Structure 1
């Protein structure tokens, strides 16, 4: 890779380059060794206030590594660096290896690790000049622009990555009221030959999935350091910021069919209105819970109320409420088992997004084709932490993102126009919060 010889490598599957977490979230590392060998894994995690933690162990016989006993809680905001090394000293299909033993790290031409970013739970979203969805034309440098709070100087830590590869990371010193981090695919393609510069069917546009994570570290007038974060996702030529352009929550838009507190953490895009919202602060009266004994509205330690389902259970909107909508969102925390987020119900004509710790898939249910898989992605969704799921259906285009990372793209030539919401837990224990449906004005 570049001028670096790769004998062995590991693909991070849970915590990945540029992951953005909140204080109180779980640091959970898993990875896949390539080639798939039972190799030795060593991690060193450093961070603010001289933080130091290590994780070590052996991958299984197919090269997969995860040890939940070595997970830990992140207790301070800031930039954390994860140094990763993998070494194989045992058997291969060609016999035992000999010294010098093959070693490696993540797939990067120069780096042996990556950064993750942690902010306070109530941290303000980093502001940007981009709208929530944009289209990039041509093949060239893509600027990611942000606004700086209060015009104070600070440092911007950035990570540019794509599935499997750390493309670039570093730090910029800011000045003025704005800053820009650039993604230059033409330059990077000289090292990463897997970057596609031909575009979709030779159309001369961007074609890869790339995410850009930013952490702004800024010292205020009071001498205290604040942290702001944002992640951008490029899916081919489509740029998604996943939030309104100004970083606010769009609380001034018209609302209808809302349950409980309307201060939801998502908000709708600025050109749309809330069709339905429930944060379970006033119970679960909007839902038919089956079986009812396996569902409860519970209060978390922070005072937030969420819907908890245990076993093999389902929650359907009462009266099978049918709604138009282009944006369907939910927060999910699974402690075990599989979770299904069904939209555009009824059962015979719906989309089912299914995910667990190792993968996600989109299934299309139609009267003649029940449960047909149309897309699948092998990305980790660790148990025990909250995941933000967004399902969008605009014209015939379906896009599904988890935590701001686009996982599914599908074109349905005959999309379902209206529908409802159906939550499922399959042999597990899961929590749901902030179910939101948005429709254009």
Structure 2
């Protein structure tokens, strides 16, 4: 699927004559309302359509997605996010132009469009089963990548930062979202026209402040990203890092998740834009990967690399029966692979008794925890046996623990949050 999406993006880039370069300026002009006509059919302005689509991409993909790509694939994964975004601009242009061309208008003047419409109306009635299939699959996708991932990331971060129970945060998020979407595309457009630029501006400003404070490290960060895109180095968060294909695939995957090019969700939002020229909305849509990935994701990645939080370990409660605990084994020097949970793992004075190639290691986010303690202050090293099957650790003195403590690597949104905290530290506690 990744190859298909990238291949399509490359084909459309060539077929449209590199539209993401030749029509970029025109896209900005249309977005600012330079060519608006209030009498054009549609429900929202070009700008509102753009912010509606961006509201689904600017956020979780920028905050957690980039961190995940760097965690699993190393800094070089950011380079492949750039490639994905560049090709994705042509894909966005094409799918949104088609959505505009084949949209429908009901008797009340309300418009509707998207891939399910242009599949049936563009390819013919015989393709209606495919259109229905797409609509059903997109509905399921909306529940998961469209909502569940975002809600979970928000709840996880709020729980980590402020101790708010995840179920409570989920309920609050549901109420707020319902209040917006039940008002229809008009209310969604008005809300996102304010929120999307506002939250993006704050985020970009914070990232730029950090990069200015660490200006001397920025060229090195860029060099690391480009160099490790083709020659990745093994790092602390070990599984896959050091393997070119893993670095590329994680960059491509997170890039596609972030800007949603080819997913089919953005054309639905853009189909509601007021215009009688389909291509005019297409040039607006190609700005999305530029803003979302080439600008905001790049800033996130540079902040993480400059502060080095992707390689740092943080005090962590290692929950033996769940959470983010994993099991890894060294497959070659400094490179680890995930394995099935072993029957038991022996620990002495906080250290793994069995080490070396093939030995099971207690890990967190696929990065092994080098020292394990029984107390949160990390003053009492654990000695005993960990039983993954029961989620327990039995000490030699007879005590039983369901959690141990140690310094572990983080992943996702917590990495980004810590990068911003450390980067802004010279200006105070953020």
TM-score range normalised by the length of the shorter chain = under 0.3
Greater strand share, structure number: 1
Find the structure with the greater CA-based Rg.
2
TM-score, length-normalised on structure 2? 0.25
